């Protein structure tokens, strides 16, 4: 086995082109578990932690694939509230100090916590190889259970997101507050200026996915220009449509039926919180 | 491969390191520092917590090669000579140690918390220690120890 230690992105892309079988390692919080348990024996590990380009975020926003969760929480909480909320629920402090969004995308687990947020907020994933750079909308990134749109010679370089244009919420069901893989999860983003809603489910289908019917229904119901308290019937219908967008399975963490139920509850509640934020903001302006 | 790393202020070198090996293995089995414990090797228990460039991480999830030219501080590096760190003293005095297996990880994690938040609230303590499992104490004495250490700093 080889341990490859590029210092620059260009060098890393060169190495990945020569050794497409090399496994990238960022925070190692997925890769090292597989190594320690003999589940993976790659011919090489490609260490990404020395590459300064991947550890930076710039206004706009472009968040480098190697920015760990703790920095998203501390530095980007105001601009990316949804992503910061999801980041706060990942693992433990030690895991958040090390784990990265790039790693979450690389692993592409249906249960990964950042995925519903990236889908609901219209994120675009930047990937690169010696052949050039590709911009992949989050909606086209997840292809199957632990499969993503990355080619063998490509690396994930960044996630592009616009600073939140309205309230965002994330919610996750698990057996305790820390250290849980989501039984199921849900993210919502409101875009008041565009009369638009983003909604996506996690851990409730082979891939994380958006709930387009729920989004369209809610966008038609919400009066962004003149926000009034929401009818319970609207929240309920939204919850139902979110639940219907999922195709969960029974597994050790929960049954399909439970997941469907929990998604409807989370969708209703997070909508309530997000809408309240908008109402409160409106009052503050008046 | 060879790994050069600064551990507790000393420049150390480990030879014949397997490329897929963890920093935890290097510390315990190659550098003679068994303070950091190996319980789960999957990031779940926190007993292997060390500082890597001043940030607490699970040493079992750091590839040895990723520690090259970095600075590691283990539980062995907290005391100055025979003088225990206040966090270590508080763990002893509060009775926060039973079998002691979880202690090194908890001490490092609590040490970092108090560096960042000198007077943490109970929820802040619980949140900071959420990734460290203890099967003996029931955690109450551990919370006592962190409060005691905070009051003395
Ligand atoms: C105890 C524990 C608790 C956890 N809890 C959660 C949780 O609550 N929620 C959650 O979502 N996840 C959780 N995880 C999983 C993991 O922490 C996350 O998926 C994290 O985002 C992985 O990031 P990393 O940088 O550590 O990835 P790594 O382990 O370094 O890599 C993960 C995968 O992505 C690939 N990769 C990494 N970076 C790139 C890149 N730039 N380009 C291309 N491929 C890349 C790697 O080759 C690998 O396949 C947990 C893990 C542990 C050990
Ligand atoms: S041994 Fe590293 S977290 Fe358990
Ligand atoms: S004292 Fe035994 S595990 Fe904590």
Query: What class, spelled out in words, does domain B86-152 have in CATH?
Result: mainly alpha
pLDDT band (50, 70, 90) for residue B37? very high
> Model ipTM?
0.98
Residue ranges in B46-102 assigned as alpha helix (H): 86-94
* Structure token pair of residue B150: 């905070």
pLDDT, tens digit, 9 for 90 and up, residues B115-145: 999 999 999 999 999 999 999 999 999 999 9
Exposed/middle/buried for residue A258 (C-beta within 10 Å: 0-12, 13-18, 19+): middle
Regarding the beta carbon of A203 and ligand 1, being less than 6 Å apart is answered no
Percentage of chain B with pLDDT > 90?
Answer: 98
- Tell me what pLDDT residue A286 has: 53
Give the whole-angstrom CA distance, residue B9 versus residue B5: 10
Residues of chain A with CATH 3.30.390.50: 168-285
- Tens digits of residue pLDDT in B87-101: 999 999 999 999 999
Atom of ligand 2 nearest to the CA of A94: 3
| Averaged pLDDT of chain A | 96
Q: What is the pLDDT of residue A285?
A: 60
pLDDT at residue number B67? 98
Ligand 1, atom 21, residue with closest C-alpha: A104
Residues of each domain in chain A carrying CATH 3.30.465.10: 2-108+124-160
Which conformational region is residue A14 in: left (phi greater than 0), alpha (psi within -120 to 50 degrees), or beta? alpha
Chain B contacts of A3, Cβ < 8 Å? 1, 19, 63, 65
Which sequence spans correspond to the domains of chain B? 3-76, 86-152
Q: Which CATH class is domain B3-76?
A: alpha beta
pLDDT tens for A186-222 read 999 999 999 999 999 999 999 999 999 999 999 999 9
Instruction: Write down the CATH number for the domain with range A2-108+124-160.
Output: 3.30.465.10
Who among B22, B57, B68 is closest to A94 (CB)?
Answer: B57
What would the mean pLDDT of A146-168 be, rounded to a whole number? 97
Q: Is the pLDDT of residue A74 over 80?
A: yes
pLDDT in tens, B103-121: 999 999 999 999 999 999 9
Q: Is the dihedral of CA A139, A141, A146, A147 positive or negative?
A: positive
Q: How far apart are CA A6 and CA A49, in angstroms?
A: 9
User: How many alpha carbons lie under 13 Å from residue A186 in its C-beta half-sphere?
Assistant: 28
**pTM reported for the whole predicted model:** 0.97
Out of B39, B99, B138, give the residue to mutate to test ligand 3, the one with the largest number of ligand atoms within 8 Å of its CB: B99
CATH (residue range A168-285): 3.30.390.50
pLDDT for the residue A226: 93
Residue A282 has pLDDT above 90, yes or no: no
């Amino acid at each position: 086995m080889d341990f490859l230690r590029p210092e620059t992105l260009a060098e890393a892309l060169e190495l990945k082109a020569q050794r497409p079988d090399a496994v990238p390692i960022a925070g190692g919080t997925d890769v090292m578990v597989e190594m320690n348990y003999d589940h993976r024996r790659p011919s090489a590990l490609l260490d990404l932690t020395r590459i300064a380009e991947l550890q930076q975020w710039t206004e706009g926003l472009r968040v480098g694939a190697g920015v760990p969760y703790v920095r998203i929480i501390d530095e980007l909480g105001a601009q990316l509230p949804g992503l910061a909320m999801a980041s706060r629920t990942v693992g433990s402090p030690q895991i958040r100090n090390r784990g990265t969004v790039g790693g979450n995308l690389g692993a592409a687990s249906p249960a990964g916590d950042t995925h519903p947020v990236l889908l609901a907020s219209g994120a675009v994933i930047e990937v690169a190889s010696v052949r050039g750079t590709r911009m992949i909308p989050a909606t086209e990134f997840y292809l199957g259970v632990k499969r993503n749109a990355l080619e063998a010679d490509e690396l994930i370089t960044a996630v592009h997101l616009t600073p939140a244009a309205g309230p965002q919420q994330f919610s996750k069901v698990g057996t305790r507050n820390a250290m849980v893989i989501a039984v199921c999860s849900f993210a919502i983003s409101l875009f008041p200026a565009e009369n638009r809603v983003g909604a996506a489910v996690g851990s409730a289908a082979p891939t994380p996915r958006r709930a387009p019917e729920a989004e369209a229904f809610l966008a038609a119901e919400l009066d962004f220009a003149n926000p009034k308290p929401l009818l319970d019937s609207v929240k309920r219908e939204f919850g139902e449509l979110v639940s219907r967008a999922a195709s969960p399975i029974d597994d050790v963490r929960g049954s399909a039926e439970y997941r469907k139920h929990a998604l409807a509850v989370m969708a209703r509640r997070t909508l309530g919180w997000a809408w309240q934020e908008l109402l409160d903001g409106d009052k503050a302006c008046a | 491969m060879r790994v050069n790393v600064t551990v507790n202020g000393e420049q150390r070198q480990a030879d014949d390191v397997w490329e897929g090996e963890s920093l935890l293995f290097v510390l315990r089995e190659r550098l003679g520092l068994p303070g950091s414990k190996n319980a789960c090797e999957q990031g779940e228990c926190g007993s292997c917590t060390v500082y890597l460039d001043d940030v607490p991480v699970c040493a079992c999830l750091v590839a040895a090669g990723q520690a090259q030219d970095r600075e590691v501080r283990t539980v062995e590096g907290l005391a100055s000579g025979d003088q225990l760190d206040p966090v270590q003293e508080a763990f002893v005095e509060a009775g926060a140690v039973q079998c002691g297996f979880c202690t090194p990880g908890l001490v490092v994690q609590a040490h970092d918390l108090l560096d960042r938040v000198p007077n943490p609230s109970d929820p802040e303590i619980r949140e900071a220690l959420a990734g460290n499992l203890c099967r003996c104490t029931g955690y109450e004495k551990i919370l006592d120890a962190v409060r005691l250490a905070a009051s003395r700093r």
